[in-house]
Each structure stands twice: as C-alpha cells, then as structure tokens.
Amino acid sequence: MDITLHEKYKHVHFTDEQCDLFATLLDTEPLHKEVMYFIVSEFLNNTPATIKSITENIRVERKVGVKNKRKTSIIKFDVQMDFISRKMAESIVKQLAFSSLVFVEMLAPYKFIKPTTRGAEVCMLLQERDNQRAVDLPSNGESVKE
C-alpha cells in the first residue's frame, strides 16, 4: 500500500472478527509477526523502518552446509542464526502492504515502512494474545491445577 491509498483509507478500521483473522494469520507465520512487531516498535520510537533496518535487526534460523576437510563437498547441514535476507524482507513487507497492515512512504532513495491503523490494531491483539499465553503457561514445569 502506498501513501496515496493509505491517506484515502486511513480512517477505515477492521472489525473485531477481521482483526482476529489477521492476528491468527500472523500468528501462524512467526517471521511475518516478528517483522510486523519490528515495524510497529520502530514507529513507536519515531523512526520509520526500512528494508535495511529490518535486515540488520531480524534474525532467522538458517541451514548452513558444512564442507569436508578438502572443502569439495557438503557433508551435513547445521542450523545457524543469521540475519534475514534483503529479498525475504522485501517479500514480507510486500505481503504486509497488500494486507493493508503497513504502507510504504517513498522519499528520495528511501522507502519508509510504517504501520497503518489496522496494522496497529492487529499488533495490539497479537501482543494481548502473547501476554495471555505467558500467563497461561505453568511456571517451573508444573502442571496447571484447577
């Protein structure tokens, strides 16, 4: 969603049911959820997110091939924490923009990514769900007794 569409529809809000739907969709995709959280947190800090800032701050588990001693062939794959690729960040932002959760503001060579009001609503619902899950989890591995 670009700035002109955002300006036209910025007063449109999701219903509770739609908000729940988008929160559930983001909950199933942890990377999309993390990127959305990052965009909203940057916005709250009065610094708009960019693709570069996303790639510098979001980490993902990635399989990396381990080569043999002669470095001729890969013998196994190890899971390693690495930064998200630029291509993947652009793809996620594009999907969030098509969902009208974020909009992109173009200024000279920069593309600033900001959440829409609908994106902020969904993020608040996700945060409430995460807090509720944290409360529902038993401490010290004990089972919950009613």
Band (pLDDT 50/70/90 cuts) for residue 139 is low
CA atoms within 13 A on the CB side of 146: 1
Band (pLDDT 50/70/90 cuts) for residue 140 is low
64-88 pLDDT, tens digit per residue, is 888 887 777 888 888 889 899 999 9
Comparing 50 with 71, which gets the higher pLDDT? 50
Rounded to an integer, what distance in angstroms lies between the CA atom of residue 8 and that of residue 31?
Answer: 29
Domain ranges of the chain: 3-51+85-132
The architecture of the domain spanning 3-51+85-132 is Orthogonal Bundle (1.10)
* pLDDT for residue 20: 93
* pLDDT for residue 31: 93
Task: Select from 93, 114, 94 the least CA-distant residue to 103.
Answer: 114
